[in-house]
Amino acid sequence: MSNSNFFALVAADARAVVDQITAGLRWFGAEARAAIAWVDRSIPGAQATLAALFKAADSAATTLESYAASGLSDVVSSAIDGAGAYLEAVIAGSGLDLAAKRTLTAADVAAVTAAQSIAQNAISVVAAKLLADTAQAETAAGAPPTAPPAAAP
């Protein structure tokens, strides 16, 4: 097999993975296709990684939609705006300037993916810290801790 045939086969396989991932997207179909087209096609795996990120975002949008429908639409809207600003700050802190990119490389996609992971993990840590700090403040104030209900025999 010649090198050109090998690379054509790899490119076709990568395109099939991207097509499969983006086929089910409801929320981000057009955005995903535009972002995937922005990735440098000569970098194997970068398009599939970005497609997986959009697939996860699509699932998250469905979850957020259910929260919004249950009466928390203002909270969801505010959270999305706040998370957007926070993630932009994390990405900028990594040194990546997305606005200056004509195409994304695998390293750029990895930086965005790492920033997303940092943001998600930071929120989980802060949620636990908030609960722990509140519990400590209540304990320090002399409020007796609430015991969990006894298990039924």
pTM, two decimal places: 0.66
What confidence tier does 117 reach under pLDDT thresholds 50, 70, 90? very high
Share of the chain above pLDDT 90, in %: 22
How many Å from the N-terminal Cα to the C-terminal Cα in the chain?
Answer: 70
Would you call 113 helix, strand, or coil by DSSP? Answer: helix
What confidence tier does 68 reach under pLDDT thresholds 50, 70, 90? confident
Do the beta carbons of residue 53 and residue 18 sit within 8 Å?
no
Do the beta carbons of residue 49 and residue 107 sit within 8 Å?
no
Do the beta carbons of residue 57 and residue 35 sit within 8 Å?
no
Cα distance between residue 114 and residue 137, in whole Å: 34
What's the mean pLDDT when you consider all of the chain?
80
Cα distance between residue 142 and residue 2, in whole Å: 76
Residue 119 neighbours by CB distance under 10 Å: 16
What confidence tier does 81 reach under pLDDT thresholds 50, 70, 90? confident
The pLDDT value recorded for residue 144 is 60
Tell me how far the alpha carbon of residue 135 is from its chain's centroid.
30
| 47 closest CA partner among 28, 29, 21, 84 | 21
The pLDDT value recorded for residue 47 is 82
